[in-house]
Every structure is written in structure tokens, then in C-alpha cells.
Structure 1
Amino acid sequence: MQRRRGVTAKDIAARLGIAVSTVGRALSDDPRISAETTLKVQAVAAELGYVGNKAARMMRGAPSSILGLMVPDVRNSFYSAAAHALSGKMRAFGYQLVLSETGDDPQLELEQLKGLSAIQAVGLIIVPSVDPHADSVKLLESIPYVQLLRHHSSLDQQRFGIDDRMILDSATSHLTALGHHRIAYIGGPSELSTGTQRLQGYRDALERSGISEEDPDLVRLGPAGSHTHGVESLRSLLALAAPPTAIVTGSVQATHGLLDEILARGISVPEELSVVGFGDEPGFSWWGGGLTTMALPVDEMVSNCATRLLDMVAPGAAADPYEVVSPGRLQLRASTAPLDVSESNLRGTGSAVRRTT
């Protein structure tokens, strides 16, 4: 079957009986073309289903309308929600958002950056990998960009994040207030700025509650955004001679893995184990009796981030250091309960723990 030829500027010109160059200028809002002719050209273009060639216009000197968003994993609900909100906000200002996934791989991150540079993206929002390639750092010097959620010291001080330390402090403090002392933490790598701050928040809450010595057996750090990490961490924690009575997580994907393994083992929450998750996806509100979790300020972060980037890509804009840290919020539901300290060990999948109500 012969492929149907797309509508061209020549087709529009033939319909109106004008020069192709006039059509091109009219579609580019060239002031040399009268308003009457411009309206006629636009009307015929819409009627025929004409789609402009952005690459060709850019070669003729027209500015790009492309903004990039680079995230580690689009399956992470935080990043997908951020992408959705950013796309709508940027579209309202005449920009098209192009999404790239890096898998937290510095080499892939570099390749994606080269691709965005090749299509002349005018700005970029990036969630940087653990250790960006030196060529990535150099390439970013030529494009306005801001860091989202994470911060890497080798990159410019343009960052929009959450108060990671406060979030985990709040989550852990909630559990210590319920009488829990053996509280496990499942989080991302300490090499990430987010991982370091979340771990510190967990430790701060334990110390403030009088638990002066952190039990290293209760801390499970692993790959960022890993479902498997949540599964395997719970398995190893349950194998301890003195398992935890409560668990707090530091990533959305680890929360998913933890919850899946809890269901697979038939563990009763919060009767046998109290749980505080990370992020607040729609499904978390009806998991079990509802998951107590840390709700993240996605809308606030995205709005601040988009506004800053739009300011940076404006002609003559300055790029002075700028940072906004938004607070999270503890969403209390039914997955946590006070500890009955007389019976405080979860062994296997039995009902060895009872908590007061």
C-alpha cells in the first residue's frame, strides 16, 4: 500500500494561489505578511491538516520550544506525576516537554543529554544520577537546567526538592511515640543526597527518643527505586533473632516491594508489624485498612520548578543559585499501632506480637 503523502506548504500555496515563501512566513507569524493573508493561510492549513516541520523552522533560525525532563524511572509514581503536571504547565506557555529515562545509569544519562542537545532543547529539568559523567556536567553548561528532588554537588545550585531529613524524622518519630524501639529502615543508597538525608532523619528520631545506639541490622540500604530491595529487605529483617516491630521506608518502589512481601507472607498489619510508607499513591489509601505514609508535595515542587525554569529560558535571564525545599506531610491511616512491649518480637509469619488499640 502506498503511504499517503503529508500536506506541505506547497499544497497550501496552490490552494490560495500564493508563493510557497509567503505561506512559510505566514505560518511563522512573520510581520512582513499582512494579518489578512496570515489568517487565510492558517485557515487553509487547519482545513488540510498541515503539520509544521519544527526541525526545518529551527534550521531557519526559529527558536526551539522543547524542554527536557530526565528521570531515573517513569514507573516511580512521583516521577510520573511530576511529568504529567510539568507537561501541562509547560504546554500552557507554548513549550513541549520531552521525557527521557536514565535508569540511574551515568552513560545512558549522557546519551539522553546528547539527544536533547541535538534537538536544541532550550531548557532541562533533571533528576541526576548518583555520579554524573564528566561529559554530562560539561554538556549541561550550555543549557539552562534545574535539579529536581536530588542534588549533585558537581551541578549548578538550581534545585527543587523535599525536606528529606524532616520527612523520615517525622515518620520514625511517629513510631517511637507509639512505643516502638526496634524500628527498621529500608531506604536508598547513601551516595544519593536524598538517601543521606533520609537516613539521617531516621537516626535523628531514634536518638531523640532515647534510642542512643542504632542497630545496624535494622538498616537496609539498596538501589534507588527498587521493588526487589523492599522484598528482600523484609525477608532478611524477619530472619533476625530479634525482628523489628515496625518498619519505615524511604522510597516509593521499596514501599511497593515491602507491601507485596507482607501480603505474600500473610503478615497482619498493624497487629504483627507497624508500617510507614513513602509517597502517597491512590492505592495506598485502601491497602489493608489504609497505609500510614509520607505524602510528598508533588504539585508544589512542580509549580516552583517549572516557574524557575521558564524564568531561566527567557531572553537575558540570570541563573543565580536558587533552591526551594518543600515539606512533606505524615498521612495517618491504619497501618501503625501502639506496641505492647511485653510481646515485641515478630517471628516468621505467626502472630507473636500483640499491640494495644
Structure 2
Amino acid sequence: MIPRGTGMVTARQVAESLGVAVSTVGRALADDPRISPRTKLLVREAAERLGYVESLPAQMMRGGSSRLIGLMLPDIRNSFYATIADAMSACCDAAGYQLVFSIADSPEAEARHVRHLASARAAGIVIVPTPDPRPETCEMLARFPHVQLLRRVPGLSPAWFGIDDMECLRAGTAHLIARGHRRIAYIGGSTAYSTGAARLAGFRRAFSEAGIDPALAIERLGPPADGRFGAEAVASLWEEASPPSAIITGAVQLTGAVLQTLAGSRPAGASELAIVGFGDEPSFSWWRGELTAIAMPIQELAQACGSWLIERLQAGAAIEAHAGTASARLVSYPQRG
């Protein structure tokens, strides 16, 4: 028996404790199919008992991948993406993988982080892609398993998990129309993003289905994570000859920007505005006006995405075309205060 705390335990010591070859220990830990399930179990139990920590470079030299799964998000400043990271981490931990998180809000950062994950022989990547990834990013991602989350970009993995973006904005806009609103402003993300294009289409579809003149709609599109854009978009609405009676947003960050701007500037008629906000953030609870939130099962979506990827990694299966879609629901809060 080798006592803990007497120095770094080696693979040779693990092998000696079991009476097997050092190569058997390495192959068992690398899940080599030439090693029987019973031997793999014995080796892993002995390694854990002795406190053996396998060298990642040694594992990579045998041609194996790491137990790392990369999660690439464009932002982490709201609970929407924070929930994704938390759910994905729990999913990976339960399956014996380690989540590596990075923020990639530009094609340059995206390429850099993918390169680092590739050099670490990551087992797989879950990525919320930028609208226009660099060619080298696509080439690197093509070499190992990855899944697109929320946004969808041609040229990357055919596997995608996301929200039914068109329907959630259609339903939100239809909710306002049903309450008698016709002059409705949409503040959403640029159509350069797949999510932005789908949400704008949903907004327009609600007008079409209701037979309302599309000229009554007001559209303001820009960077979905830019609070300044959201504030400027709200301010511009009161420059219209006929300001809107309702606002619907197409991004969590824009919802926050709209509420903050309305609370700070208090334009005439703002207190009577009906608002449908994308996202059901706890941080919106301070708002005392009328608010209907587009709430999404984002935790369940992230868990489904992570589990689907891990199942294929464990089975050695190819990443085939797949579309996992979650539906949003409207949560209306009465006026408070």
C-alpha cells in the first residue's frame, strides 16, 4: 500500500499495486478498447485510492483526447448566459468531464479560443458562434465534435440546440396586438445574427397574421449586447411623429437597457407603455410598470445540449444533424406600486 502524501504517485506505482504492466494502466485510463471493462474499473479504483493524477500531455501522446469540454459564449453579464454555464458545468461534472469556459465576442477571439481548445485536445465544444466565423475557425472545429447553441451558422456542426426565436417574438407581439396595441416598437438584435433575423421575422409575422398595416410597426436593430444601442433606440422612439404605445425587445441585454432608460428619462407617455421583454431576469424585478416577460427554459436547453454531446462522446458516435428546439412562454406581471 502506498500512503497518500508521500510525493507524486506514478503510473508505475499504480501498476505495481495491481500487478499489471505500466502500459496497461495508461491504456485503461485512456479507455482503450483493448483493455477489458473489469481491468479498467480496477485501474481507476486503484488510481483514485492512491491519489494518482494522470498527466494530460502523456494522455495526449497516446493519441487520446482530454476530458475537457469547451463552452464558448459571447457574454456572461446576465443570468441568461450564466444559467447556461451553470447547467453545462453540472452536466459535465456528472459525466466525469470538466467544463472550460471562454468568452468569444468577436471572430478573432473565437478563433483564438478554438485554437487553444484544439491544442488541449478538448473532447468537444459547445459554441454560441459569432455571425461570421473565420475560415480557420471552421476548419479547426471540423476536426472534432462540436455543437452550436442558440445561434446557428452555416459551415459549422449540423447539430444545434436553441430557442424557437420566430415563435417567441410572434407570440409576444400577438399578445400586445390582442390587447389593442397597433403602434408597436421592436428593439432587437441585428439580422446578422441568426437569432436576430428569426426574431424580427416573428415580429413582422404577428402583424401580417393580424392583418395590421406594417407601417404602424417601428423597428430598431443593432448589437444585442450593447446597452448604449438600447438606450439610443428608446430615445429615438419619442422623435417619431406618433410614438409607440408598446415596446417589445429581442435580447435580454436590450430589455434591461429599455427599462433603465425609461426609468431614467421618463418621457411623456412612458408610464402607460406596455412592454414585452425578452428574458425573465431576476434583475428586472425593480421595474414597477407593466411588463410581460418572454421566459425561456434555458437551463433545460443547456442540459439537453450537454447531455446529447456527452452521450455521443462516450459512444464514439459521429455528430449528426440534430435540432433541439425549446419553446418560450409569456409571463405577465401586473403593474406594481
TM-score interval, normalised by the smaller of the two chains = 0.7 to 0.9
- TM-score under structure 1 normalisation? 0.80
Find the residue that maps to 2:333 and give its secondary structure.
coil
Identity rate of aligned residues, in percent?
A: 38
* Separation in 1, partners of 2:313, 2:40: 30
Superposed counterparts of 1:93-132, under 5 Å: 93-103=95-105, 105-132=106-133
Residues 318-353 of structure 1, C-alpha deviations (whole Å, 9 max, x = no match): 3321111111001111269xxxxxxxxxxxxxxxxx
- TM-score under structure 2 normalisation? 0.84
Two-structure CA RMSD over aligned residues (Å) = 3.3
* Separation in 2, partners of 1:92, 1:37: 20
Deviates more, 1:136-145 or 1:34-43: 34-43
Residues 213-262 of structure 1, C-alpha deviations (whole Å, 9 max, x = no match): 2346x210001222222111101112222111110000001111111111
The one-letter amino acid paired with 1:65 is R
Question: 2:76 maps to which residue?
Answer: 74
Residues 92-137 of structure 1, C-alpha deviations (whole Å, 9 max, x = no match): 000001111111x112111111010010001111111111111111
Deviation (angstroms), 1:138:
1.1
Question: 2:309 maps to which residue?
Answer: 309
Superposed counterparts of 1:131-280, under 5 Å: 131-215=132-216, 218-266=218-266, 271-280=271-280
The one-letter amino acid paired with 1:83 is A
Residue 39 to residue 314, structure 1, CA distance change in 2 (3 Å): closer
Question: 2:299 maps to which residue?
Answer: 299
Find the residue that maps to 2:162 and give its secondary structure.
strand
Deviation (angstroms), 1:61:
4.7
* Separation in 2, partners of 1:158, 1:42: 35
Deviation (angstroms), 1:8:
2.2
Residue 107 to residue 39, structure 1, CA distance change in 2 (3 Å): closer
Deviation (angstroms), 1:59:
3.0
Residue 125 to residue 210, structure 1, CA distance change in 2 (3 Å): same
Question: 2:3 maps to which residue?
Answer: none
Larger Rg: 1
* Separation in 2, partners of 1:167, 1:34: 48
Deviation (angstroms), 1:188:
0.3
Specify every segment of 5 or more residues in structure 2 that has no aligned partner in the other structure, as ranges: 1-5, 30-34
* Separation in 2, partners of 1:101, 1:146: 16
Question: 1:351 maps to which residue?
Answer: none
Residues 248-304 of structure 1, C-alpha deviations (whole Å, 9 max, x = no match): 000001111111111112359974211111111123345325731100111221122
Residues 142-178 of structure 1, C-alpha deviations (whole Å, 9 max, x = no match): 0111110011122232111111011001111111111
The one-letter amino acid paired with 1:297 is P
Residues 26-54 of structure 1, C-alpha deviations (whole Å, 9 max, x = no match): 99759899999986764453xxxx75543
* Separation in 2, partners of 1:335, 1:267: 18
Find the residue that maps to 1:307 and give its secondary structure.
helix
Residue 134 to residue 17, structure 1, CA distance change in 2 (3 Å): closer
* Separation in 2, partners of 1:36, 1:201: 56
1:54 aligns with 2:63: no
The one-letter amino acid paired with 2:81 is Y
Q: Is the 8 A contact 1:292 1:333 kept in 2?
A: yes
Residues 64-89 of structure 1, C-alpha deviations (whole Å, 9 max, x = no match): 10011111112142211101001001
Question: 2:92 maps to which residue?
Answer: 90
Find the residue that maps to 1:196 and give its secondary structure.
helix
Q: Is the 8 A contact 1:27 1:38 kept in 2?
A: no
Specify every segment of 5 or more residues in structure 1 that has no aligned partner in the other structure, as ranges: 1-5, 337-357
Question: 2:67 maps to which residue?
Answer: 65
* Separation in 2, partners of 1:54, 1:290: 54
